[in-house]
Chain A
Amino acid sequence: MRRLPLFLLLAALLPVLPYFIKVSPYALNMLMQVSTYAVVVLGMTVVLGYTGQISLAQATFFGLGAYAVGLGTTDWGMSFWLSLALGVAAATLAGFILGLTTLRLKGHYLAMITISFQQIFDLVLTNWIGFTHGPDGIAGINRPSLFGLSLADDRAYLLLCMAVLYAAIYFVWQLPQTELGRAMRAVRENELAAEVTGIDSLKIKVIAFTMSATLAGLGGALYAAGFAYISPDNFNFARSIEFLTMVLLGGAQSAFGSALGTSLLILLPEWLRFLKEVYMAVYGLAVILIMVFLPTGIWGLFVAWRAKYRKIGKIDTTNIEPLSIQIPVDKAAPILVLDNLHKHFGGVRAVDGISLEVSRGMIHALIGPNGSGKTTILNVLNGIYSATEGSIVCDDVNITQMKPHERAALGIGRTFQNIRLFPSLSVVENVMVGAQRANTPREPGRAALRTRALSALQFVGMAEEAEVIVQNLPYGHQRLVEIARALAGYPKFLLLDEPAAGLNQTEKKSLATLLKKLKTHGITIFLIEHDMSLIQEVSDRITVLNFGKKIAEGEPAYVLRHPEVMAAYLGETTHGAA
């Protein structure tokens, strides 16, 4: 941080440098290319680096911005600024519509559909000659003036581009620390867990995609006036790949990485001139090598190196506020009512007509042999699966048709059998994602979220590890962080899927204590578990499943002696069990 002012001074000096020392027009052109491209590549940081969604159509949004300025200032006689606004708006709208229609799809599909979009755009630019001038492109695009000052001079226009770039870098740099940015990273790390924790993942992805398109449109608008001439070649699939390579080379998860990657990839052809015709082949080879040897890009190397020498911040655990989670147990009606719930997979009836009620403030255990449908019930309760038939009413609200994040917003928390955290986020950030769900009685702002998260961590005894990257924690601790993430979101109803799995005896004891402590706060717990001594110790009521059907229900002492239950577990017939 001490070096920050120096860094800022250098950054501020760079754009005005051409006024003091002689810079060739060619070099100025390259700087202009770097600054406009970098804005576009920052869009890739948001969509690919932060949100983990691939986009191979960035050049189309870049093109929309550029063509708006190109056509606006020449054919349509509009001012530069109006054209720029139009271009950014067009790119934003296109990004929003494309995102909204396609982001339900994942991975390969998204890659493919963005390529298709790119190809169609290219065909339109080339073939709709009456509108776009076709392959000839648009020449004679004029530069604007600002507050009466003409920006026609290369040096002056570069100042404008650099100012926009710096603003974009600042924005993208700050984004991850906001609620939106944290939600984006959660979606990247584990979309399903993000959704169950209360994040509307589709909305977040569409926002990221739209933001990225906005930045690309802005970069394109500046580019068009900077170079005075545009043609379809500047906005084809190869350009999209180039943007992708830039963001990956620099480091997709950092704003500075993107700027670095862009600069390098524009300057490299200059330094590698001796390669001549094989340059593009070397470039393709470099892409493979980056993926193999530099998965986090150049900036990622720098971050890893810095992390090695920086001590992890110690948290003063004595000053953490106790977690406020007091849920009033004031109604007699059960918190959860399942009525004839079915979930079928093809011909398999994983859940076959379950009806049950969970009373408020209770620890209710769900047990049964492997494959009896326990986890499926939890997934249907969460909305990860939709019910084939039947209804789910939680706290008087029928949630059967709701999306997972809407259910989370009602106060349904969840942990998973195979822990689902956000691996590369720190412990406290993981829990902050839980704290930022909708409908909580929290104060606005990052500080309040962090306070809440630390309180939740303190509650499960993990506050000291707050700044550790969560994937570096031992297994048992990760389970506790997952519970803390759920607790931070003010849950009134907690679904725990085998919380004791993989824990040692000591850890199991403290888990039992934790569960009983949660119960005293009025939180209802619905628990799947195989550890019988834990179940006997903590549960008030047990439901037993076998083959998707309920075979017994009641107090632990009654249920565990039930002949059908013994038969299901020990494989004997009802008659044989004496």
Chain B
Amino acid sequence: MADFWVTNFQVLFSGLALGSIYALVALGFVLIIRATNVVNFAQGDFAMLGGFAMVAFLSAGLPYWLAIVMSMIMMSLFGIIFNLGVYYPLRNRSFLPVIISTLGASIFMQNTVLYIFGPQPKPMQKVFATDGINVGGVFMDTQYLTILGVTAIALLFQYVLFEKTLLGKKLQATSQDKDMARLVGIPVASMIAFTFCYSAALGGIAGILVSPVLFVSIGMGSIIALKAFSATIIGGFGDVTGAIVGGLLLGVVEAFGAQYISVPYKDAFAFLLLFIFLLVRPQGIFGEKVSEKA
């Protein structure tokens, strides 16, 4: 009996840690959806880029903390470039060209990185050198604990930024009504650029955190992004709380699915859960049903 609980807590723990990564990327999705009404299918590649930037800075001999800072700066700049190159020229068109353009960006980013770094996945050292701690038989890996901790800090930061600062109010106004925001003097284009910058950085954090667990590889972003996007739908499209809850839920479902049902089909559980939600409750856990106005 004790074994049963230990195993399940172990699975739950790793599920939550993995789910945090999905939640971070999902949060990046949601911010862009709210600001621009489109889905950025290259969101996962922000995580991939963050991982590779880290690898590059570390191999250049930078200390770990400085490499993180440099990677974050690089990702923020990249977010702005991404906005200018991929979203901005298409901002007045329907969502379809934008989706496709971000898919193109994803192919471009992956293959450029492939060209520079080669196909071999790169290992990365953990943030803390110690292996982990043992709590009542449940082994807690330090990297997993770091992931949970950093995610909590990132969420707190975001809450303060959006709810307690003037910049946050401006961002919220932009996402709710661009024309009105423009009329009261909010620089909408800059707000959107900032959103891309911020969500690229979020993706970068997720990539750096998950790299020691998954290795840094070209394809790491795609699969994370698909799960993260599933999480936003499951949580409620465009809902911040929904993205976090959806991400954690997916991580846990996946961990238990792999433990009790099948390891090779691990990735299928997320998509099955998504299917079920789309059929039964397409508006997600926190979403409200909306219909088009005539």
Contact = CB atoms under 8 A, between A and B. Distances in A.
Contact of B264 (A111, A112, A127, A280): A127
Contacts of B58: none
Interface string B267-294: 1100110110011001000000001101
A371 interface: no
Interface string A364-379: 0000000000010011
Nearest to A52: B96
B39 A111 contact: yes
Contacts of B46: none
A109 B233 contact: yes
Interface string A87-106: 00000000000000110110
Q: Which of B110, B271, B292 has the most CB of A within 10 A?
A: B271
Contacts of B111: 278, 280-281, 283-284
B103 interface: yes
A123 interface: yes
Nearest to B97: A291
Instruction: Determine chain B's interface SS by DSSP, over half rule.
Output: helix
Nearest to A289: B104
A526 to B, nearest CB: 15
A288 B279 contact: no
Interface in A207-252: 237, 241, 244-245, 248
Nearest to B95: A107
Interface stretch (B84-92, B175-183, B189-197): B84-92
A384 B291 contact: yes
B97 A295 contact: yes
Contacts of A375: 294
Contacts of A104: 282
A108 B99 contact: yes
B100 A291 contact: yes
A286 interface: yes
A288 B104 contact: yes
A102 B108 CA distance: 30
Q: Which of B98, B105, B294 has the most CB of A within 10 A?
A: B294
A276 B231 CA distance: 37
A290 B90 CA distance: 11
A292 B264 CA distance: 39
A115 B226 contact: yes
B74 interface: no
Contacts of A285: 104, 108
B226 A379 contact: no
A329 B265 CA distance: 66
Contact of B85 (A123, A288, A420): A288
Contacts of A382: 294
B271 A119 contact: yes
Nearest to A244: B100
Given A107-B95, A116-B271, A284 B109 contact: yes
Contacts of B282: 104-105, 109
Contacts of B97: 291, 295
Q: Which of A54, A109, A192, A284 has the most CB of B within 10 A?
A: A284
A353 to B, nearest CB: 21
Interface string B205-232: 0000000000000000010001001100
B114 interface: yes
A420 B293 CA distance: 12
B108 A123 contact: no
Contact of A116 (B93, B98, B110, B230): B230
A248 B103 CA distance: 13
11 contacts: A112-B39, A112-B226, A123-B268, A278-B111, A281-B108, A281-B111, A284-B105, A284-B108, A287-B108, A291-B104, A292-B90
Given A108-B237, A111-B41, A284-B106, 12 more contacts: A111-B99, A112-B226, A112-B229, A113-B278, A115-B226, A116-B274, A127-B264, A127-B265, A245-B104, A280-B114, A281-B115, A288-B86
Q: Which 4 A-B pairs have the closest CB atoms?
A: A287-B104, A284-B108, A284-B107, A116-B271
Interface of B: 38-39, 41, 85-86, 89-90, 93, 95-101, 103-112, 114-115, 222, 226, 229-230, 233, 237, 264-265, 267-268, 271-272, 274-275, 278-279, 282, 291-292, 294
